Amino acid sequence: MKVSSRYYDMNGRPYAEPDAWKKWASDYTDSNRRVAQTYIGWFRKIHISTIWLGHDHAYGDGPPLIFETMIFGGPLDEYQQRYSTKNEALIGHEKAVKFARLGYIGRILLRMKRDY
């Protein structure tokens, strides 16, 4: 019985077994796994990062989740969402940027209200 690959290239194609993890590992470098990144705020206080994971984080429960967006810093620190395709990941990145901007601006407005 052949087990299907848990490793996928950036286009969503599974790597061929039995050496799928070796091909994934050779492709998984800092230089080519970043899909999008955005910084928000003075001194880049909030960082939104979307990367290709390549390893299925759905673990066989539904379509493979091989991309991830995370927010670092700000009121939504550690927000995380995973996606099956690069296009979904890019759309999700833009949504996360909007969420982070709203949260950042909301925090500033609350601080200003408190100070006046």
Backbone phi, psi, residue 28, to 5°: -90, 85
Q: Count H helices, E strands: the chain?
A: 3, 4
* Residue 2 confidence (pLDDT) above 50: no
Give CA–CA dist 81/90, Å, rounded. Answer: 12
What does pTM read for this prediction?
0.83
What confidence tens digit (pLDDT) does each residue in 26-59 have? 888 766 789 999 999 877 789 999 999 999 999 8
- Closest residue by Cα to residue 83 from 115, 49, 60, 53: 53
Measured CA distances, 104 to 38, 41, 64, 78, 98 (Å): 14, 8, 32, 14, 10
CB atoms within 10 A of CB 9: 15
* Residue 109 confidence (pLDDT) above 60: yes
More confident residue, 33 or 1: 33
**Whole-number percent of the chain with pLDDT over 90:** 53
Q: Where are the alpha helices (DSSP H) in the chain?
A: 20-27, 30-33, 86-115
More confident residue, 28 or 68: 68
